Structure 1
């Protein structure tokens, strides 16, 4: 599948790799980022303005923006400021992109919308606790995408919306993590393979880079 694509956050480690992989697959890619274009996903006016000049149909939209913040190790470290900041970037941002980009998605042929989630956003897979703000923001993202998939699926019968966990990818985002990491190029290839293989019946789901469904 090739055509027109949008990558939000294409100046970041994963976003740049997603854009490069899409272009290698024959897509014409429009990239939007805060650092280059002023496309701030937490500002609805900026999101609307940034998407206004794009003509559809758009076959694939990938939101690769996100923030880790300072993961809390204990409940006593939790602050309202961190909760609000994480929710704004990781949950509200992709939802606003989908809200204003929905008009670009075709109703009569396959289309894809994906946003980067994280396994730590799984409630069912949380056996360690901590990371309150980041976990909560990603869980909220999953719910927003799931609800949107139900709604848009009524009018866009061939649309797939997915929350995708990329694994631990070697970017500045994970610089402090010593564990084995995927190269951004490998992560991008795997994520796009997974997204491309999903069917409309799987729309609204939460999947990792190997295509395995992650519990809510």
Structure 2
């Protein structure tokens, strides 16, 4: 812990720049990274994409909206499969494979291992979500696992019941932007799927290879081509 003099001093310009950069990256890069992974998986899994599209259009019809109406935030709240798609994306492709490290306050034993006082502890977020002891077919993109009867039914990303995936961390230091991030992801995914049919281009298929940067991104970023070309997206309607 810093001493009183250290904790009360003014921040330097370099420290301010670093903190602002972290705030901006943590609030934008994580969401954009997660969105790209989800759309990549939907492109590679047309069955899932089509099922999601039908849920979106059905929700709009029930509210009396026409096919040309934009998806509203209120409508996304009543789409369980949309939420399942986002959760499956965060399980398989968490933007950060590690959360902020913690420090052991005292000697403790976890799983037969001694964690000495003062040791830094990192949580392997991606490995948790891909653990075959906890998840059926963990490397497959199966949103149905988060619906009733699935092996992920009732999973809470806040860790209030049990910790099987923690893309936002858990406990007192859980990401403060969890609610906004989930809202943005559900809304953006619904908008993109409603308006476009996402397809792979023969010879230029989607590559799910990972690349560690500030977040863990796609080594070959998802790229959308113009409609007049041989395209990766098609207008719906």
Task: Bin the TM-score by the shorter chain.
Answer: under 0.3
Structure 2 length as normaliser, TM-score? 0.23
Bigger CA radius of gyration? 2
The alignment's TM-score, normalised by the length of structure 1, stands at 0.25
The structure with the largest strand share of the pair is 1
